């Protein structure tokens, strides 16, 4: 298989997708809903251009057909103005589902609003991860890395310390899976906004020493994580430890 330089594409795509959902939420909040169906699909391309389409039917077939008409799209977000009953009250909210062509899971967020003024009530909130069935996602052609998590005995005031043991003999696959692990982890702990997490990634190259190229690329991922990931997910911090 031809080696393709995809360092940090997975991680960057996930962060950009979250930022894009926040951007769309800001665009929509308080917007006049003059049309009968206010739901929109935003299709974004690598050059930053965006096509907006009214959603005529809320089905996977509609989404897939729309994407097929826009080859080369990088990501998309679909909006849904919905209501639900909670604790005897009717809640009105915007639901956002976002997907990127480089990540295996989509992001689902919701923003509760006042049904009369359409203005926000509280903050944009994470709901769940959803499998990305709309894009064919690249992954190195090698078996997935082994990954185990355990809570450590280390006591850090106000933080939960968790170590991930991640290993593979194939460096490209290991780099991919480390990014995927970071993305899944930061999203899964979003619901625990009152708790901080200290994650240790213990990285092993099986059956040999890690190459200098691999170690340098891990350093790039570590720098990006500390610079950009933790700013988007402030209740997380990561330490990278390569076994040699």
Percent helix / strand / coil, the chain, rounded to 5: 30, 35, 35
CB under 8 Å to 209, separation ≥6 — which residues?
Answer: 244
Alpha-carbon gap, residue 73 to 51, rounded angstroms: 10
Q: If we measure between CA atoms, which residue out of 144, 149, 155 comes closest to residue 206?
A: 144
Q: Would you give per-residue pLDDT tens digits along the chain (244 residues)? A: 334 345 689 999 999 999 999 999 999 887 766 555 688 999 999 999 999 999 988 899 999 999 999 999 999 999 999 998 877 788 999 999 999 999 999 999 999 999 888 889 999 999 999 999 999 998 999 999 999 999 887 777 778 999 999 999 999 999 999 999 999 999 999 888 788 999 999 999 999 999 999 999 999 999 999 999 999 999 999 999 999 8
Query: What are the strands of the beta sheet with 40-45, ordered from one edge?
Result: 50-54, 40-45, 73-86, 89-100, 105-113, 125-131
Partnered with residue 84 across adjacent β-strands are 91
The DSSP code for 115 is T
CB under 8 Å to 174, separation ≥6 — which residues?
Answer: 145, 166, 167, 168, 203, 205, 214
Q: If we measure between CA atoms, which residue out of 242, 113, 114, 94 comes closest to residue 178?
A: 242
């Amino acid at each position: 298989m031809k080696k393709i330089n995809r360092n940090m594409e997975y991680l960057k795509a996930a962060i950009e997708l979250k930022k894009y959902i926040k951007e769309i939420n800001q665009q929509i909040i308080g917007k006049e809903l003059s049309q009968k169906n206010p739901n929109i699909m935003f299709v974004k391309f690598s050059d930053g251009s965006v096509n907006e389409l009214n959603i005529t039917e809320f089905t996977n077939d509609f989404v897939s057909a729309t994407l097929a008409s826009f080859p080369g799209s990088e990501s998309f977000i679909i909006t849904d103005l919905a209501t639900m009953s909670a604790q005897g009250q009717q809640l009105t909210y915007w639901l956002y589902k976002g997907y990127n062509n480089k990540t295996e899971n989509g992001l689902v967020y919701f923003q509760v609003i006042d049904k009369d003024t359409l203005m926000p009530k509280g903050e944009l909130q994470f709901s769940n991860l959803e499998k990305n069935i709309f894009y064919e996602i690249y992954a190195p052609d090698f078996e997935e890395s082994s990954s185990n998590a355990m809570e450590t005995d280390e006591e850090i005031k106000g933080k939960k310390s968790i170590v991930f043991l991640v290993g593979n003999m194939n460096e490209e696959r290991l780099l991919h899976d480390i990014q995927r692990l970071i993305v899944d982890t930061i999203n899964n702990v979003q619901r625990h906004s009152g708790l901080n997490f200290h994650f240790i990634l213990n990285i092993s190259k099986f059956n040999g020493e890690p190459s200098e190229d691999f170690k340098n690329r891990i350093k790039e991922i570590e720098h990006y994580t500390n610079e950009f990931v933790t700013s988007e997910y402030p209740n997380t911090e990561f330490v990278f430890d390569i076994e040699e």
